[in-house]
């Protein structure tokens, strides 16, 4: 009986970047050996794979879609090539697969089916932001997106601040880029003046910006241009 294939977890750039600066050579070489991929958006996946190997015809590669709309019942079908002995790459849309990414459920199912899972080294906006923030990297929690409705969002902000203070824990969250400033305004209004807030914007890009200030300092103004730019927020009381 042919052994199962390996599911390779392949990080992708957080924006337009020189791949040599983002991914180790060994990762690029391994990706070049794969013919099958599970991706969030085929168009951006093809763009990434073309950067990996400009000489290869991406039309010859097999791409299956796994996104936030993929029903749980369809995950088994995505594992069929792996169960037949083929190696497959799982691509994130940006950053690391299965971290704030729909690939997590597939990886869990792969373990249940005794498929080997191999994570590759690459950029994670969450960890890069935490590293650069100067906030507590021993205890931290990622919350994804906060509520959109103002009252619910404000309650959540206060809850996160209380948790940050009580547990000495960095609270990490993100926002849809066009709502970045509204979230920053809410944080500046709701949190205590001595609470630390870091915004990490356009990580790994030429215009990358990481700023850690107290809420009191944020209230003084002079905010960076972060609207419509991917940003990670980190709060620590």
Q: What is the 3-state secondary structure (H, E, C) of the chain?
A: CCCCCEEEEECECCCCCCHHHHCCHHHHHHHCCCCEEEECCHHHHHHHHHHHCCCCCHHHCEEEECCCCCCHHHHHHHCHHHHCCCCEEEECCCECCCCCCCCHHHHHHHHHCCCEEEECCCCCHHHHHHHHHCCCCCCEEEEEECCCCHHHHHHHHHHHHHHHHHHCCEEEEECCHHHHHHHHHHHHHHCCCCCEEEEEECCCCCCCEEEEEEHHHHHCCCCCCCCCCCEEEEEEC
Position 164 scores a pLDDT of 97
Structure confidence at residue 1 (pLDDT): 64
How far apart are alpha carbons 45 and 229 in whole angstroms? 20
Residues shown for the chain: 237
Check if the beta carbon of residue 94 is closer than 8 Å to that of residue 85.
no
pLDDT along the chain (237 residues), means of 10: 90 86 90 95 93 89 94 95 97 91 94 97 95 97 96 97 97 96 96 98 93 96 88 96
Give, in order, the Cα–Cα distances in Å from 94 to each of 17, 85, 204. 12, 27, 12
Domain assignments of the chain as residue spans, ordered by start: 6-119, 125-236
Tokens of 4: 């199962």
User: Which residue shows structure tokens 């080997």?
Assistant: 116
Domain 6-119: which topology? Cobalt-precorrin-4 Transmethylase; domain 1 (3.40.1010)
Could you say which architecture CATH assigns to the domain 125-236? 2-Layer Sandwich (3.30)
Q: pLDDT at position 41, please?
A: 92
pLDDT at 227: 87
**Best CA proximity match to 83, nearest among 107, 113, 118:** 113
Residue 178's pLDDT is 94
Class of residue 221 by CB neighbours under 10 A (exposed 0-12, middle 13-18, buried 19+) = exposed
- Are 52 and 20 in contact by the 8 Å Cβ rule? The answer is no
Which burial class, exposed, middle or buried, applies to 233 when counting CB atoms under 10 A from its CB (0-12, 13-18, 19+)?
A: buried
- What residue has token string 């015809």? 57
Q: Please state whether beta strands 231-236 and 170-174 pair in parallel, antiparallel, or not at all (unpaired).
A: antiparallel
Q: What is the pLDDT of residue 21?
A: 83
Structural tokens at position 93: 């849309």
Give the model's pLDDT for residue 30.
92
């Amino acid at each position: 009986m042919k052994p199962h294939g390996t599911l390779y977890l392949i990080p992708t750039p957080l924006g337009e970047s020189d791949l040599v600066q983002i991914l180790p050579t060994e990762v690029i070489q391994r990706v070049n050996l794969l013919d099958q991929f599970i991706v969030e958006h085929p168009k951006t996946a093809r763009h990434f794979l073309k950067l990996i190997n400009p000489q290869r015809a991406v039309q010859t590669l097999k791409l299956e879609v796994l996104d936030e709309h993929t029903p749980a019942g369809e995950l088994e079908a995505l594992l069929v090539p792996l169960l037949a002995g083929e190696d497959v790459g799982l691509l994130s849309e940006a950053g690391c697969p299965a971290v704030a990414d729909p690939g997590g459920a597939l990886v869990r199912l792969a373990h249940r089916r005794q498929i080997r899972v191999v994570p590759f080294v690459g950029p994670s906006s969450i960890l890069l932001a935490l590293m650069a923030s100067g906030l507590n990297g021993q205890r931290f929690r990622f919350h994804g997106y906060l509520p959109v409705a103002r009252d619910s969002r404000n309650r959540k902000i206060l809850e996160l601040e209380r948790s940050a203070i009580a547990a000495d824990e960095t609270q990490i969250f993100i926002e849809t880029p066009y709502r970045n400033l509204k979230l920053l305004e809410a944080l500046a209004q709701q949190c205590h003046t001595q609470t630390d807030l870091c915004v990490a914007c356009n990580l790994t890009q030429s215009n990358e910006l990481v700023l850690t200030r107290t809420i009191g300092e944020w209230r003084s103004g002079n905010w960076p241009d972060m609207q419509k730019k991917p940003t990670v927020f980190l709060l620590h009381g």
